[in-house]
Amino acid sequence: MILAQYINGNTKVTIHDDGTKVREYEGIPKPIHPESCDVKISNRCDGKCHFCSEMSNPQGKHADLNKLLEVLDPLPAGVELAFGFNTGHPDLITFLQSVKQKGWIANTTINERHIHNNIELIQFLIKNDLVKGIGISYSSNDYISEIKSLSSMTNNIVFHLIMGINTLQDIDCLYEVCQDQGKDCKILVLGYKNYGNGSNYLLEHKEEIENNKYLWYTRLVSLFSLIGMTFSFDNLAIDQLNLKRYFTNKAWDKFYMGGDGKWTCYIDAVKQEFAVSSTSTNRVSFNNVDLLSYFGNISEISTNKIAK
Amino acid sequence: MINIRSKVFETNSSSTHSISISSVSDGILDTILPNSKGVIILTGGQFGWEVEEYNDALTKANYCAVDCCEQSNDELKLFLIEVIKEHTGAKEVIFNMSNSNFEDDNFSYIDHQSVGTTKYAFENKETLKQFIFNRNSWLYTDNDNRDDYSEE
């Protein structure tokens, strides 16, 4: 079933209720607004993940979500917003109700260790259709019962795994859990970020991480054909896995959704800054530019890079 | 042009779901898994008169390897190793076969009339990669001595 459809410059975008997105265009696509924004709404987190690239902490600040709504206002219905759940922003529900009213699609990612303490809130968000896609950062099978509880409510759970930190056995485990529930197993593979705490962790565990990454590099592809499995990748993982080698040129053109900044942008609502992605050091304040102007600029740069 | 993201919403709070594929997605190439030390060992095979068809990467790589040995062509052999290493990420590719010693466990041959048939696959790296790892590339073995054989 079609969930949303809109025209973005010379591109027609259709989003289905299972998350499938189809983009149709002639010639070179020229989007005028982002199709999705990665939005940071809080810097507070008690997860203390030793590989965290965000440097979030228990004393971190929350974003002003009214200001964020002003910034997002020009975006049409159907645009996706992805935000981290962390330990929860106090204005989260009100914000998500506004997002739903505007017709934007809210997706969130939560660390599995935060599910237990927030399960009622997450269930409320799913039941009231305030979020569609739910990413779960998976690190061990200690929280399988919580994961199953959420998975029974929606088909749109995506497990976030980091190559080099998670293992291929984690995929086997999650596949089994999903098969038991009669669900598709959806995995998002994230590249290893050598920033923030991630760089220290890499220094201390270099050999272990590199050996693990090598297994991902050589063996992951053998899991692609598992029935009921969906794999997606961020740009860093695509680069680190040299994923293009596994695609025919035609398939690559069809499935590659573009580099960071071509169709997407990052919004740090805590610091009130725009960037190409969360890892970009080049940031621009909300006070200096509006979202569409900022996006127009980075998208054009991204197009020119491809042309060159 | 059409771009498709299969079956996932954009949940990533750091970057984008830039590729999303399901088990039914087409145009995905195969691989050969290196062992725990990162080594792929090609053990050849006996490709004679049998009527067979193969599209798995390992058999096609072995066929190419045997063809290189039958032609005693080290240049082709190195070319093959390079293509396999680049695609699979293997650290080493070893040929463990013999085309002269009948008693070798991995005695390998290609019917003499078919030796050199992989020359088109060896035209460049991309064609060789597509021949070996694309499941739509088939290796057929057959002979012209069957009663029902027709050159047409």
pLDDT of residue B100: 84
Residues composing chain A: 308
B35 touches chain A (CB under 8 A): no
Identify whether the C-beta of residue B76 lies closer than 8 Å to the C-beta of residue B23: no
Here the tokens at position A109 are 């990612």
Instruction: Quickly state the pLDDT bin for B26 (edges 50, 70, 90).
Output: confident
Q: Percentage of chain A surpassing pLDDT 70?
A: 93
Q: Is the pLDDT of residue A49 over 80?
A: no
Q: How far is B37 from chain A (nearest CA, A)?
A: 10
Distance between CA atoms of residues A181 and A175, nearest Å: 10
**Helical pair A65-72 and A92-102, crossing angle rounded to 10 deg:** 10
| Contact state of B21 with A231 under an 8 Å Cβ cutoff | yes
Here the tokens at position A56 are 């979030």
| Contact state of B4 with A25 under an 8 Å Cβ cutoff | no
- Determine the average pLDDT of the residues in B31-60: 92
Mean pLDDT of all residues in chain A?
91
Q: Which of A31-45, A95-109, A155-169, A189-203 has the lowest mean pLDDT?
A: A189-203
pLDDT of residue A17: 96
pLDDT of residue A135: 96
Q: Percentage of chain B surpassing pLDDT 70?
A: 90
Q: Is the pLDDT of residue A87 over 80?
A: no
Neighbours of A290 (CB within 10 A): 14
| Contact state of B8 with A158 under an 8 Å Cβ cutoff | yes
- Determine the average pLDDT of the residues in A274-298: 94
Greatest alpha-carbon span in chain B: 66
Q: Which helix (H) or strand (E) holds A17?
A: none
- Determine the average pLDDT of the residues in A88-101: 93
pLDDT of residue B152: 43
- Strands A185-190 and B2-5, sheet pairing: unpaired
Q: Tell me how far the alpha carbon of residue A302 is from its chain's centroid.
A: 19
Q: Please tell me which residue, A55 or A10, carries the higher pLDDT value.
A: A10
Residue-wise pLDDT for A133-176, tens only, equals 999 999 988 999 999 999 999 999 999 999 989 999 999 999 99
Q: Left, alpha or beta for A48 (phi > 0: left; psi -120 to 50: alpha)? A: left
pLDDT of residue B12: 79
Q: Is the pLDDT of residue B143 over 90?
A: no
pLDDT of residue A199: 75
Of A80, A226, A260, the CB nearest to B15: A260
Mean pLDDT of all residues in chain B?
88
Q: Is the pLDDT of residue A307 over 60?
A: no
Three-class SS string for chain B? CEEEECCCCCCCCCCCCCEEEECCCCCECCCCCCCCCCEEEECCCEECCCCEEECCHHHHHHHHHHHHHHCCCHHHHHHHHHHHHHHHCCCEEEECCECCCCCCCCECEECHHHCCHHHHHHHCHHHHHHHHHCCCCCEEECCCCCCCCCCC
- Determine the average pLDDT of the residues in A60-81: 96
Q: Is the pLDDT of residue A278 over 50?
A: yes
- Determine the average pLDDT of the residues in A81-91: 84
Of A53, A236, A245, the CB nearest to B87: A245
- Determine the average pLDDT of the residues in A40-61: 77
Of A22, A83, A226, the CB nearest to B4: A22
Task: For residue B7, list chain A residues with Cβ-Cβ distance below 8 A.
Answer: 18-20, 184, 186, 230
Q: Please tell me which residue, A143 or B117, carries the higher pLDDT value.
A: A143
- Strands A105-111 and A134-137, sheet pairing: parallel
Of B13, B17, B30, the CB nearest to A83: B13
pLDDT of residue B85: 98
Q: Which of A93-102, A200-209, A240-249, A272-281 has the lowest mean pLDDT?
A: A200-209
Query: Which whole-number Å values give the CA distances from A225 to A267, A286, B40, in the listed order?
Result: 35, 44, 21
What stretches of chain A adopt beta strand conformation (E)? 2-8, 11-16, 21-25, 36-40, 80-84, 105-111, 134-137, 157-162, 185-190, 229-233, 264-268, 273-275, 284-285
Instruction: Quickly state the pLDDT bin for B125 (edges 50, 70, 90).
Output: very high
For residue B90, which of B142, B132, B40 has the smallest C-alpha distance? B40
B112 touches chain A (CB under 8 A): no
Q: Please tell me which residue, A146 or B113, carries the higher pLDDT value.
A: A146
Residue-wise pLDDT for B50-83, tens only, equals 888 999 999 999 999 999 999 999 999 999 999 9
- Determine the average pLDDT of the residues in B141-146: 68
Instruction: Quickly state the pLDDT bin for A197 (edges 50, 70, 90).
Output: low
Distance between CA atoms of residues A64 and A84, nearest Å: 15
pLDDT of residue B6: 92
Place of tokens 């009921």: A228
Q: Which helix (H) or strand (E) holds A112?
A: helix A112-127
- Determine the average pLDDT of the residues in A53-72: 88
pLDDT of residue B13: 62
pLDDT of residue A305: 66
Q: What is the ipTM of this complex?
A: 0.89
Is the pTM of the predicted complex or chain greater than 0.80? yes
pLDDT of residue A187: 96
| Contact state of A221 with B87 under an 8 Å Cβ cutoff | no
For residue B84, which of B58, B107, B109 has the smallest C-alpha distance? B58
Identify whether the C-beta of residue A56 lies closer than 8 Å to the C-beta of residue A11: no
pLDDT of residue A283: 96
pLDDT of residue B2: 95
Distance between CA atoms of residues A158 and B11, nearest Å: 7
Place of tokens 């042309």: A307
Q: Please tell me which residue, A54 or A96, carries the higher pLDDT value.
A: A96
